[in-house]
Homo-oligomer: A and B are copies of this chain.
Amino acid sequence: MTGTTPAVPSRSDAVRNRRLLLDAAAKTFAERGVEVSIGEIAQRAGVGKGTVFRHFSSKEELLAAIMLGMLDELVGTGTALLAEGDPGRALHAFMTAGVEIFVRDRAFCEVIGRPSLQNPQVRDAIDRLCDVAEALTARAREQGVVRPDVTGTDVALLLGGIQRTAESLLSAEPQAWRRYLELAFDGITTHTGRTLPHPPPRHLPLAAPAADHGR
């Protein structure tokens, strides 16, 4: 209903294959990035290439399905953390979980927030992510833990930025991202009195292709 591909197949072997496929694709995309060939994913899943295209009408859509899963997992984590008593601690835990996803998954880094990923379901999931990030941020802001001009979207955007900062260190120092998470956390929690120079974004617009770079 949300595309050309049935969300859930009826035959039991089809259900099983879809599961195998998602698992194999998740692992392969995570390790090798979006450039992996469909053939390799199919092989790793133990199915034929045609089966991939039966379940997902394009590579793009398969990738989107994987992203969706990760985004929703993070949304779930954030939602659960809303129950945590200490708003600052909750926000920190949420950011930790978010950066961990980026650190763990190469394809996720490569496409999240990039114009190449136009899938509407993913956009919706990103909106949900911003919402839960905003909820967590609002609590912390109200308690004075976070500076008043920082939003949930800022927080969501920072996740990828933190991973990117640490990226070249990670193979030698897999935990290096924690350093930059802390730096960023200090940046948003501290109130220096200065106001941030640019108004906070409301949505992540997934810019039109080829427009996110170059003047």
A residues within 8 Å of B by Cβ? 27, 30-33, 103-106, 109, 113-115, 150, 154, 157-158, 160-180, 182-190, 192, 194, 196-201, 204-208, 210-215
Tell me the nearest residue of chain B to A184, going by C-beta: B187
Shortest distance between the CB of A194 and any CB in chain B (Å):
7
Q: How many copies does the complex hold?
A: 4
With A161-B164, A167-B114, A201-B176 known as contacts, the answer to whether A214 contacts B183 (CB < 8 A) is no
Q: Contacts A168-B205, A169-B207 known; A183 to B212 CB distance under 8 Å? A: no
Q: Which residues of B contact A205 (CB under 8 A)?
A: 168-169, 171-172
The 8 Å CB contact of A173, one of B33, B166, B201, is B201
Contacts of A201 in B (CB 8 A): 169, 173, 176
Cβ–Cβ < 8 Å partners of A157 in chain B? 165-166, 168-169, 180
| Listed residue (A158, A164, A176, A187) with the most chain B CB atoms within 10 angstroms of its CB | A164
Question: Given known contacts A161-B165, A198-B175, is B183 in contact with A192 (CB within 8 Å)?
Answer: no
The answer to whether B214 touches A30 (Cβ under 8 A) is: yes
| A199 CA / B169 CA spacing, docked (Å) | 12
Contacts A157-B166, A161-B165 given; does A182 touch B210 at CB 8 Å = no
Least CB distance from A87 to B in Å reads 17
> Is the beta-carbon distance between A207 and B158 smaller than 8 angstroms?
no
Q: Which residues of B contact A114 (CB under 8 A)?
A: 167-168
- The 6 A-B pairs of least Cβ separation, nearest first, read A161-B165, A187-B187, A106-B213, A171-B207, A179-B198, A31-B214
Interface hub of A33, A158, A169, A206 (most chain B Cβ within 10 A):
A169
Please name 18 pairs of A and B residues whose Cβ atoms are closer than 8 Å in the assembled complex, sorted by A.
A31-B210, A31-B213, A33-B213, A105-B213, A154-B180, A157-B165, A157-B169, A161-B161, A164-B165, A168-B204, A170-B213, A175-B198, A178-B198, A179-B197, A183-B184, A184-B184, A184-B187, A190-B192
